[in-house]
């Protein structure tokens, strides 16, 4: 189990607490708030996700029975035809 990080006690005085919160929120940190990804990492992850999605759909259809496939198709058709047309 990881060790818990001790935090300093919260001041009981309202003014001290407000001062501490302002200092924490306006303090400059050396580390960037958003981690920097290596070049091309986003494209790589998108390709991996797309590949998994393509495999998953085919595998899902193989494991479904005819009745389940029919039920899914009927539901999809109802949703498609229930949408209002935009002019």
**pLDDT (average), residues 20-45:** 78
Who has greater pLDDT, 75 or 12?
Answer: 75
The answer to which of 23-27, 33-37, 48-52, 67-71 has the lowest mean pLDDT is: 33-37
State the average pLDDT for the chain.
82
> Would you state the structure tokens that stand for residue 5, as one six-digit string?
């990080």
> Would you state the structure tokens that stand for residue 61, as one six-digit string?
């259809």
Please state, in angstroms and rounded to a whole number, the distance separating the CA atoms of residues 29 and 1.
28
Task: Look up the pTM and report it.
Answer: 0.36
């Amino acid at each position: 189990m990881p060790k818990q990080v001790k935090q300093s006690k919260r001041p009981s005085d309202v003014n001290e607490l407000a001062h501490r919160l302002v200092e924490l929120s306006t303090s400059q940190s050396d580390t960037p708030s958003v981690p920097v990804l290596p070049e091309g990492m986003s494209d790589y992850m998108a390709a991996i996700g797309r590949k998994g999605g393509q495999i998953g759909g085919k595998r899902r259809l193989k494991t479904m029975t005819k009745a389940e496939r029919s039920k899914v198709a009927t539901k999809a058709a109802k949703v498609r035809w229930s949408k209002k047309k935009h002019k």
